[in-house]
Structure 1
Amino acid sequence: MTLKEIARQANVSISTVSRVINGKSPSAASPEVQQRILSIAQSAGYTPNAAAQDLKNKGKTAGTPPRADQSIAVLFARMPFALMDPYFSQLMQSIEAAVSDTGYYIKYMYSSADFDNPSILQAFTEDKMKGIIILGRCEKRIVDCLTRTHVNLVYVGLNEFNPSYDQVLCNGFDVAFEAVGYLIRQGHRSIGYVGESENEVRYKGYCAALAANGIELNPDYKVEVVLSSEGGYAGARKIMSQSKGITALFCANDMTAIGAMRALKEDGYRIPDDISIIGIDDIPTSQYMSPALTTVHIPIEELGNMTVKLLIDRIEGKHNLPLKVFLPFSIVERETCIPIA
């Protein structure tokens, strides 16, 4: 059982489960919640990564406390929806699997909300973790805090990060540019955007693709929503009510697209006959939608593997200059896009 599964059963965040199981923060949760978490973990036979590594690595004696310089933290920058997004779940599973083979262990999982808690923030800054993995776009105040106290950072995501630190990217600008270009090549010119836009490269890629094909940007063809199925559901209804003539929607991720599809169906739209939809991520659910979602495949497992490799290399001094690694993507043609008549 993973920390994520324990968190789901206990109805708490992954970071809370991590702190309770590792016993580093007595105030991490109420006594009742702590007991619930520990009971679930015990019944599932869960062993923290630290103990597992202690048993398997380098001939250590069972029960010997793991060295502090082997510990790694993971920060979920996009909360709370990251916990419900299969993209982040798959990415975390890939990272956990890759770390388990290195001799290091994931000691903590934090969320961006934890940085509003002074006691947690103090514990974080004082802990001598060897490295930190950041999942998703991060607020500047959190980045500043991380970079003041920890030098071995690796960011993984679609938006570019601080150039002073290692990054593993599937370039969100290029992904969006290609997705919108795919719709344009099918004859669509009235293309709506459902997603986030502030400091978001996917929106910039959407705008650039329109401009590159001589299509004027229509402000009514954009709706600002959180990247989630709930956001997509509300966003699709809003954009279709405020805008006439849209023939296709570009949704900034698959969860948003799935929510949008539900709303459109309820409102009587036929997909793709009345409107085409494309997403980003290629989460497993997308292929089982009806119709199956056309999307952009992001190599999530490879993102996780490369992130861990880059961090361990950084920790062990195998590279000094900040590295930026780009992984490829591809359009997955399914059933939600057709050429416009």
Structure 2
Amino acid sequence: MATVDDSSVAATPAVTGEKRGQPKYLQIVESLRASIEAGRYRNGVRLPSEAELVRRFNVSRMTVVKAMQHLQQAGLLTRRTGSGTYASENSGNQKPVFGLLIPDLGQTEIFEPICKGMAASPNAGGHSLSWGHSVAPSANKEDEAEHLCQQYVDQRVSGVFFAPVEFGQRRDQVNRRVLKMLKSARIPVVLLDKCVLDYPARSDYDLVGLDNRRAGYLMTDHLIRQGARQVGFLAIEGSAETVDDRIVGYREACYAHGRELDRRLVLRGDPGDAALLSGAIASHGIDALLCANDHTAALAMRTLLGLGLRIPEDIRIVGIDDVRYAGLLPVPLTTFHQPCLDIGAAALAAMLDRIANPHLPARSILLNGSIVVRESCGAPKA
């Protein structure tokens, strides 16, 4: 006889949380239905006893009985006298589908391997990922995000992995609308890479990504240990809060090494702006540059070389992400490697856990990476 010891069906007190106006039995129904649809209970698997559900959900026995009757009427459960309650034989025939709501997919390199990590995860069996469809090749990211969201709501997917829109004038409004639509449809959400609110605010959704503060610290520390006297930080205006986290790490490393914390050393602007870079270098004596990401570093490198500066002899430059072309730049780029495959696997695990425990507090799951040393930082060759 198949059975599942699923002690994580719901966290006590599950029914005293976010949906106070909803009948308690319906909250139990939602939690168990989500677990069944996510494949946590396979065909014919025995569910926890009524007594166990009473304890986990902190409700009366009659409330649990009403919830089980509701699921039985929906054809999801089968009750066997003297034996217990089981998932219906056809309850697991349909694979749960998770939507990928990533407007930057195909444009930002980190998301493709993150999705690959989801698909290759040991937890991926019995689930499938939906890549969605763009409005049109020329659609902007804001419109694409809302269009994909509506698709997933119409398809009634089991969950959505959402990488919030980063740039654009309407990004904040669009991100809020997307999450509101998914919440109204009762679709679980796991955020990828970044939150939707600026620190110290925190959204009500799980977040899986890189430990950006640590990445900023380690890259700055690396530059200083290579002999950099004045490290600057370069970011494009309007970047997401992940960049702010990297700036925090950068400042902490400068402080740890006894360096002056000068606001003017944080440059926000176009990395292709020769006047911006040359002016900062001349005014503040910058001899090393930590860029918010590899894309910014690549553009800045082209600008610096165009100014006649030598890398790393005149100025050291490093990035964060370790994209595929980082080692192919005119001066191979030292960078911080994002463990994208592991991020994808952790995101899928977070989604399954969220489905089984819908009333858990929102969590931030931040993974560490590693420094990839190349010529641009001036470190001795291995």
The amino acid across from 2:310 in the alignment is R
The amino acid across from 1:146 in the alignment is L
The alignment partner of 1:86 has SS state of: coil
Which residue of 266, 273, 295 maps to 1:255? 295
Q: Distance in 2 between matches of 1:122 and 1:163?
A: 21
CA contact (8 A) 1:165 1:323 kept: yes
Percentage identity across paired residues of the two chains: 27
Q: Which residue of 2 is the match for residue 239 of structure 1?
A: 277
Displaced runs of 4+ in structure 1, greater than 6 A? 66-69
Q: Distance in 2 between matches of 1:91 and 1:136?
A: 15
Q: Which residue of 2 is the match for residue 102 of structure 1?
A: 125
The alignment partner of 1:73 has SS state of: strand
The alignment partner of 2:309 has SS state of: coil
Q: How far 1:160 sits from its partner (Å)?
A: 8.7
Mapping 1:7-86, distance limit 5 Å: 70-76=96-102, 79=104, 83-86=106-109
The amino acid across from 2:262 in the alignment is N
Q: Which residue of 1 is the match for residue 205 of structure 2?
A: 165
Which residue of 206, 212, 217 maps to 2:250? 206
Q: Distance in 1 between matches of 2:195 and 2:252?
A: 16
Mapping 1:99-248, distance limit 5 Å: 101-109=124-132, 112-114=141-143, 122-135=150-163, 139=172, 140-141=175-176, 142-157=178-193, 162=202, 164-196=204-236, 199=241, 200-225=244-269, 231-232=270-271, 234-235=272-273, 238-244=276-282, 245-248=285-288
CA contact (8 A) 1:194 1:235 kept: no
Q: Distance in 1 between matches of 2:145 and 2:359?
A: 33
Q: Distance in 2 between matches of 1:252 and 1:173?
A: 11
Q: 1:115 to 1:285 in 2, by over 3 A?
A: closer
CA contact (8 A) 1:75 1:110 kept: no
Q: How far 1:317 sits from its partner (Å)?
A: 5.0
The answer for unaligned runs of 5 or more in structure 1 is 1-56, 59-65, 226-230
CA contact (8 A) 2:161 2:191 kept: yes
Bigger proportion of residues as helix: 1
For structure 1, which segment, 123-132 or 304-313, has the greater mean C-alpha deviation from structure 2 after superposition?
123-132
Q: Distance in 2 between matches of 1:91 and 1:286?
A: 18
TM score, norm. by length of structure 2: 0.59
Q: How far 1:249 sits from its partner (Å)?
A: 0.6
Count of equivalent residues: 267
CA contact (8 A) 1:221 1:243 kept: no
Q: 1:198 to 1:163 in 2, by over 3 A?
A: closer
Q: Distance in 1 between matches of 2:371 and 2:155?
A: 42
Q: How far 1:144 sits from its partner (Å)?
A: 4.0
Which residue of 326, 337, 345 maps to 1:305? 345
The amino acid across from 1:207 in the alignment is R
Q: 1:183 to 1:127 in 2, by over 3 A?
A: same
Q: Distance in 2 between matches of 1:173 and 1:331?
A: 14
Q: Distance in 2 between matches of 1:316 and 1:173?
A: 30
Q: 1:92 to 1:219 in 2, by over 3 A?
A: same
TM score, norm. by length of structure 1: 0.66
Q: Distance in 2 between matches of 1:137 and 1:122?
A: 16
User: Cα RMSD between the aligned structures?
Assistant: 3.5
Q: How far 1:335 sits from its partner (Å)?
A: 0.9
Q: 1:115 to 1:146 in 2, by over 3 A?
A: farther
CA contact (8 A) 2:98 2:128 kept: yes
Q: Which residue of 1 is the match for residue 29 of structure 2?
A: none
Q: Distance in 2 between matches of 1:99 and 1:152?
A: 20
- Deviations 1:271-329 (Å, cap 9, x if unpaired)? 10011011111122212334221111111111112212221333355994544333221
Q: Distance in 2 between matches of 1:204 and 1:189?
A: 19
Structure number, greater radius of gyration: 2
Q: Which residue of 2 is the match for residue 333 of structure 1?
A: 373
The amino acid across from 1:153 in the alignment is V
- Deviations 1:30-62 (Å, cap 9, x if unpaired)? xxxxxxxxxxxxxxxxxxxxxxxxxxx99xxxx
